[in-house]
Amino acid sequence: MKVLVIGMGYVGTTLSLVLANEGHQVTGVDIDKQKIECLKNKHLYFYEPGLEQLLDKHLDNHSISFSTDVQTGIRDNEVIFVCVGTPQSEDGSPDLRYITATANEIGQSMNGYKLIIIKSTVPVGTNEMVSQWVEEAQVTPYPFDVVSNPEFLREGSALYDSLHPDRIVIGSTNENALQLVKSIFKDLHCPIVETTPRTAELIKYVSNSFLATKISFMNEIAKLCDSLGTNVNDIARGVGLDHRIGSHFLEAGIGYGGSCFPKDIKALLKTGAEQKVPLSILQSVENVNEQQYMYLMEKMLNRLGSLTNKSIAVFGLSFKPNTDDVREAPAFFIINYLLSKGVKINIHDPIVQLERFYSGYDIEQFDTAELAAAGTDAVILCTDWPHYMGVDWKSIQTTMNTPNLYDGRNMLNSKQMTDLGFYYEGVGYK
């Protein structure tokens, strides 16, 4: 099938490559010339394991092409996936300007029937509004359908998640449109949830909110563990082996970040407020998360006494491993806090280059974790990159000014680190 994908961000690029891999003929469009140039030149402009190989393969066999010509893309394709961004606006609600612009563009450029599939995460009622916006923009009243098909991939495992989804959610009011979307994904074997567009839109927000709830719940329990002298990692295992609870998303630490959880939780809270339905549990989830990085900072302050003239190494910048995405990354909240206290900061990350973010501050990036830690008063581990399991902790311990190790992801073995001579603290784990 010929398909157009609008918006070559994480979601659109991954979807385009997966659809090409499933045998579809894909055109990917974006208004960002640089992104399109990169993709045309077989260069993935973001870090995501496995995607560059697919890009190479499908450009070579001509099953995918990229363009900035959105209008021609719309005219040449009956099936259109919309994957544009829906960032957070000032008041916490999603900014729908890119969705509106895309709906207008489709309405103005369409030359026959179009199936418009909304992949972007949008508040309840947006699919209905898209129908209205397309209709209002139409020059000739061609028929079209709008279907909600939210995306559930995770950064860092986007390809795997897209090829092995837990479920596909399709919200449609039209049976033919529903069957057409199902036929596009016919080779992906998983349950399909057929529902209304409004319900599909809400499923996406509830999924992210529930996952974030698990994290914040465990982060609060971690504080109790510190107080009681119990181990939150063992608690997560002991609790998660109960199938009714499940073992995923129970890892305590410095809190969740990324381009999705913080914004989507804010958006659902906004929806609750608009509907005058207080979402008090979700509000607590957000509150716990916003304070979580400071919990580790307070532990460090208790030991160091003061941060004056201190030098601290921060390991890991991205919001999670296997991505170079730093949107809402807890590492940056920590860095900003340390900078505000006049701390000298040494950075290491296996992928992310810091120059992109700071200049003129007392902050320096090093090529190795060992170099970054030398001479510092503490190391703070912010991202659970597997890389940090393999660094030379023995040598790090000997070169630090004072070997204090704060593990914001509870990823290292506390006994091993203590045996090496570190003062080690995790979150609910010592």
Ligand X SMILES: NC(=O)c1ccc[n+]([C@@H]2O[C@H](COP(=O)([O-])OP(=O)(O)OC[C@H]3O[C@@H](n4cnc5c(N)ncnc54)[C@H](O)[C@@H]3O)[C@@H](O)[C@H]2O)c1
252 is in an annotated binding site: yes
Residue list 124-153, contact with ligand UPG (CB under 6 A) = 151-153
Query: Applying CB under 6 A, which part among 64-72, 245-253, 294-302, 410-418 lies near ligand UPG?
Result: 245-253
* 70 binds ligand X per the rule CB under 6 A: yes
Min dist. Cβ of residue 381 to ligand UPG (A)? 12
66 vs 332 by CB, closer to ligand X: 66
CB 328 within 8 A of CB 258: yes
Q: CA-CA distance, 121 to 151, in Å (whole number)?
A: 7
Which residue is listed with tokens 């979307």?
181
In the list 30, 105, 145, 155, the residue contacting ligand UPG (rule: CB under 6 A) is: 155
40 is in an annotated binding site: no
Binding mask 13-32 for ligand X (x = CB under 6 A): ----------------xxxx
102 binds, among ligand X, ligand UPG, none (CB under 5 to 8 A by kind): ligand X
145 vs 151 by CB, closer to ligand X: 151
Binding mask 309-338 for ligand UPG (x = CB under 6 A): ----------xx------------------
Residue list 155-194, contact with ligand X (CB under 6 A) = 155
Residue list 271-290, contact with ligand X (CB under 6 A) = none
Is 260 tagged catalytic? yes
73 vs 94 by CB, closer to ligand UPG: 94
* 119 binds ligand UPG per the rule CB under 6 A: no
What is the SS3 assignment for the chain? CEEEEECCCHHHHHHHHHHHHCCCEEEEECCCHHHHHHHHCCCCCCCCCCHHHHHHHHHHCCCEEEECCHHHHHHHCCEEEECCCCCECCCCCECCHHHHHHHHHHHHHCCCCEEEEECCCCCCCHHHHHHHHHHHHCCCCCCEEEEECCCCCCCCCHHHHHHCCCCEEEECCCHHHHHHHHHHCCCCCCCEEEECHHHHHHHHHHHHHHHHHHHHHHHHHHHHHHHHCCCHHHHHHHHHCCCCCCCCCCCCCCCCCCCCHHHHHHHHHHHHHHCCCCCHHHHHHHHHHHHHHHHHHHHHHHHHCCCCCCEEEEECCCCCCCCCCCCCCHHHHHHHHHHHCCCEEEEECCCCCHHHCCCCCCEEECCCHHHHHCCCCEEEECCCCHHHHCCCHHHHHHHCCCCEEEECCCCCCHHHHHHHCCEEECCCCC
Binding mask 378-417 for ligand UPG (x = CB under 6 A): ----------------------------------------
85 binds, among ligand X, ligand UPG, none (CB under 5 to 8 A by kind): ligand X
* 126 binds ligand X per the rule CB under 6 A: no
* 117 binds ligand UPG per the rule CB under 6 A: no
Residue numbers at the binding site for ligand UPG (CB under 6 A): 121, 151-155, 208, 211, 215, 249-251, 253, 256-258, 260-261, 264, 319-320
Binding residues for NAD(+): 30, 35, 86, 121, 155, 263, 327
Which sequence positions are flagged as catalytic?
260
Residue numbers at the binding site for ligand X (CB under 6 A): 6-12, 29-32, 35, 70, 83-86, 98, 101-102, 120-121, 151, 153, 155, 259-260
Binding residues: 30, 35, 86, 121, 152-155, 204, 249-253, 257, 263, 320, 327
